[in-house]
Amino acid sequence: GQLAEFIRALRKIDATDGPGPQWSNAFRGMPMGDERDSLAADAVVRPKIAKLKGVVDTDAVTAVWETALAAPAWDGPPVWFHGDLATGNLLSVDGHLSAVIDFGTLGVGDPAVDVLPAWKFLPDAARGTFREALGDDDATWARGRGWALAGSLPALDDPFFQEDPARVTAALRHLEAIIADHRDET
């Protein structure tokens, strides 16, 4: 509904001279698997997957990641993306989106990075409606799933996860949704 409308409207804004993927937006919007210092760099993702052996189905996680890497790259013109559509950056009043905040990762590039809400917090039943409302093709959806996976890998030895075990639980729940969505498509 409203979140998809926001994303579509953002994508329609003229992106001429907008900042592309760079260190200031953590290289969001770059091609999937690009090796710049990003959470979605293949050299960052694969070791994190390996560390989760025995915690999650690493074969299934690897299949999602490889599908994202194999998806055709964004071939349209760069579009604006927010880059951090997390629940804390979406304000609502009476159950309706009232504001989107924290544009610190704003940039232009591949729009797939803004598809993350599909697995991060939207109910499973809403995922198809969200995708339809965005109008994204299979390749963008697969790349979005890759971005979501890269951001949902709980590095169990990372202080961020060690200081709050609920973060691990949430990340594992996101991974389950990502894997389930991937299996539904294959």
Residue 111, C-beta contacts closer than 8 angstroms, at least 6 positions apart = 7, 11, 29, 74, 79, 81, 136, 140
Over residues 74-133, the pLDDT tens digits come to 999 999 999 999 999 999 999 999 999 999 999 999 999 999 999 999 999 999 999 999
Q: Exposure of 145 by Cβ count < 10 A (0-12 exposed, 13-18 middle, 19+ buried)?
A: buried
- The pLDDT assigned to 98 comes to 97
Which residue intervals of 71-158 are DSSP H helices? 117-120, 124-134, 138-150
Q: Could you tell me which CATH number the domain at 2-185 has?
A: 3.90.1200.10
Over residues 38-80, the pLDDT tens digits come to 889 999 999 999 999 999 999 999 999 999 999 999 999 999 9
Over residues 137-173, the pLDDT tens digits come to 999 999 999 999 998 898 888 888 889 989 999 999 9
- The pLDDT assigned to 92 comes to 95
pTM, full prediction: 0.94
Residue 129, C-beta contacts closer than 8 angstroms, at least 6 positions apart = 1
What are the boundaries of each domain within the chain?
Answer: 2-185
Residue 165 has what DSSP assignment? H
Q: Are 155 and 168 in contact (CB under 8 A)?
A: no
